[in-house]
C-alpha cells in the first residue's frame, strides 16, 4: 500500500511542473495602453513616455494604441469590454468623469466597469489670447467682451472637454457673450488661435507653453487653485476676480473591472516607479502639471469628488444630455 501511495505521489509531483507551466503567468503577453485621443496630444505623449520604462520593468512589450472618437467613449468602451487579465490598460482623461453627465446613455458603466489604477498627471487649463487682443488680464478681457458683445470668439476641440467647460463656466460667471467656434481637435483650434482667426482658448499647457515662450500667444490665467511651477508668473482665474474657480484636466490609468488584485498591485507599483524617475518628474513639471503617488484606493476617492465637480458644473452651465 505504501509503495502504491509513494508511486502516486511521485507521479503527481512529476505532473506539477507541467500544470504550472500550462497556466500563463502574468505578465507573459504584450500589454496595450489604449489612449482615448489621436497621436500628438497630452494623453498620447504621456502614454508613449511611460511605455518603454514600463516594458523594461515588466519584461514584455508595452504598446500604445490610439482609439480617438466620441469624446473618448470609443476607447473607453473597448477597455470596458477587454479581458480583465492585466494586458489592457486605459489611459483616460477627465472626459471620463464628464461623459456620464452629457450623454443620455453610455455603452459602459463609468464606475462599475473599471478599476482606477494610477493618476499620471493633474493639469490646469491655460487661458491664452492672440497678441492682437488688447487685453493683458482676465478682467481686461471681460471688459472688452462686455464692450463688444458677440464679436470675440473662443475655440473648442470638439466634444465637451474640461477646457471647453472651463471656458463656458467663466463666460457664465462673467456674464459676457463670447462666440464658441468648435474644431475637430485641440490642434486645429490652437492653429487658428495662432493665426488670429479666434481670439482665445483654454487649452492644455503641454501644447500651449511653447507658443507662450516664443511670444506668439499671451497667457492670461490658469484654471487651477495654484500657479504651476512652469507658469509661476501667470495668475489663476481665482486670483483674477473669480474666487473658488478650480478646474483641472487629469490623465490616469484604468483597468477593466475584475482584474486580479495582485496584478493591480504590481502594475500600480511599477507605474509609480516610472513616474518617480527624475526624467518623468521633470517632464510633468515642464508641461505645467503635477503628478500623484496616490494608491488605487485614494485615486478612487479623488474620482468621487471629481464626479461631483463636473456634475455640478454641467448643471450650472445648463448643458442638457444628448
- What pLDDT, in 10s, does the model give residues 96-154? 999 999 999 999 999 999 999 999 999 999 999 999 999 999 999 999 999 999 999 99
Residue 137 counted as domain residue: yes
Same domain, 56 and 114: yes
Q: Which residue has cell 483654454?
A: 202
**Contact between residue 293 and residue 272 where contact means Cβ atoms under 8 Å apart:** yes
Residue 5 counted as domain residue: no
pLDDT at 23: 53
Provide the residue range defining the domain that includes 230.
Answer: 126-240
Give the full edge-to-edge strand order of the sheet including 179-182.
179-182, 153-156, 200-203, 126-129, 218-222
Same domain, 179 and 281: no
Same domain, 234 and 145: yes
pLDDT at 21: 41
If one counts every other C-beta atom within 10 angstroms of the C-beta of residue 179, the result is 12
Same domain, 219 and 297: no
Same domain, 111 and 254: yes
Residue 16 counted as domain residue: no
Q: At what angle do helices 278-286 and 261-275 cross, to 10 degrees?
A: 70
Same domain, 114 and 133: no
Same domain, 206 and 183: yes
| Number of residues assigned to the chain | 322
Residue 269 counted as domain residue: yes
- 239 CB-near residues (< 8 Å, 6+ apart): 221
**Which of residues 207, 240, 273 is at a domain's end?**
240
**Which residues in the chain show pLDDT less than 70?**
1-24
- What pLDDT, in 10s, does the model give residues 163-199? 899 999 999 999 999 999 988 777 889 999 999 999 9
Residue 156 counted as domain residue: yes
User: 157: which DSSP letter?
Assistant: -
Instruction: Please give the model's pTM, rounded to 2 decimal places.
Output: 0.83
Distances (CA, A) of 115 to 54, 188, 196, 225, 253: 19, 33, 43, 28, 9
Same domain, 80 and 135: no
Same domain, 134 and 232: yes
Same domain, 36 and 109: yes
Q: How many domains does the chain contain in total?
A: 2
Residue 14 counted as domain residue: no
Q: What angle (nearest 5°) sits at the alpha carbon of residue 181, between those of residues 207 and 167?
A: 65
Residue 308, domain CATH: 3.40.190.150
Same domain, 116 and 144: no
**Which of residues 192, 220, 240 is at a domain's end?**
240
**Which of residues 180, 211, 240 is at a domain's end?**
240
Residue 1 counted as domain residue: no
Residue 136, domain CATH: 3.40.190.10
Same domain, 110 and 151: no
Residue 22 counted as domain residue: no
Residue 14 CA to residue 8 CA, distance in Å, equals: 10
pLDDT at 312: 92
Amino acid at each position: 500500500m505504501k509503495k502504491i501511495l509513494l508511486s502516486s505521489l511521485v507521479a503527481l509531483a512529476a505532473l506539477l511542473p507541467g500544470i504550472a507551466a500550462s497556466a500563463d503567468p502574468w505578465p507573459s503577453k504584450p500589454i496595450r495602453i489604449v489612449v482615448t485621443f489621436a497621436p500628438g496630444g497630452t494623453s498620447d505623449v504621456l502614454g508613449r513616455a511611460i511605455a518603454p520604462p514600463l516594458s523594461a520593468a515588466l519584461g514584455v512589450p508595452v504598446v500604445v494604441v490610439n482609439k480617438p472618437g466620441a469624446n473618448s467613449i470609443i476607447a473607453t468602451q473597448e477597455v470596458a469590454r477587454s479581458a480583465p487579465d492585466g494586458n489592457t490598460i486605459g489611459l483616460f482623461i477627465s472626459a471620463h468623469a464628464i461623459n456620464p453627465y452629457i450623454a443620455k446613455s453610455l455603452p459602459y458603466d463609468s464606475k462599475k466597469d473599471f478599476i482606477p489604477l494610477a493618476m499620471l498627471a493633474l493639469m490646469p487649463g491655460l487661458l491664452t489670447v492672440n497678441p492682437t487682443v488688447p487685453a493683458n488680464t482676465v478682467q481686461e478681457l471681460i471688459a472688452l467682451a462686455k464692450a463688444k458683445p458677440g464679436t470675440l470668439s473662443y475655440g473648442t476641440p470638439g466634444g465637451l472637454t474640461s477646457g471647453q467647460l472651463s471656458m463656458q463656466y467663466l463666460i457664465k460667471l462673467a456674464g459676457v457673450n463670447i462666440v464658441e467656434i468648435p474644431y475637430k481637435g485641440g490642434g486645429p483650434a490652437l492653429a487658428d488661435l495662432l493665426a488670429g482667426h479666434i481670439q482665445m482658448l483654454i487649452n492644455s499647457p503641454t501644447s500651449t507653453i511653447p507658443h507662450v515662450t516664443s511670444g506668439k500667444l499671451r497667457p492670461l490665467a490658469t484654471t487651477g487653485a495654484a500657479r504651476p511651477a512652469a507658469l509661476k508668473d501667470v495668475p489663476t482665474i481665482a486670483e483674477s476676480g473669480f474666487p473658488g474657480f478650480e478646474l483641472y484636466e487629469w490623465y490616469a490609468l484604468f483597468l477593466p473591472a475584475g482584474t486580479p488584485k495582485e496584478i493591480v498591485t504590481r502594475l500600480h507599483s511599477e507605474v509609480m516607479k516610472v513616474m518617480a524617475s527624475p526624467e518623468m518628474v521633470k517632464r510633468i513639471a515642464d508641461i505645467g502639471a503635477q503628478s500623484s503617488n496616490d494608491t488605487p484606493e485614494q485615486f478612487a476617492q479623488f474620482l468621487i469628488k471629481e464626479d461631483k465637480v463636473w456634475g455640478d458644473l454641467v448643471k450650472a452651465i445648463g448643458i442638457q444630455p444628448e
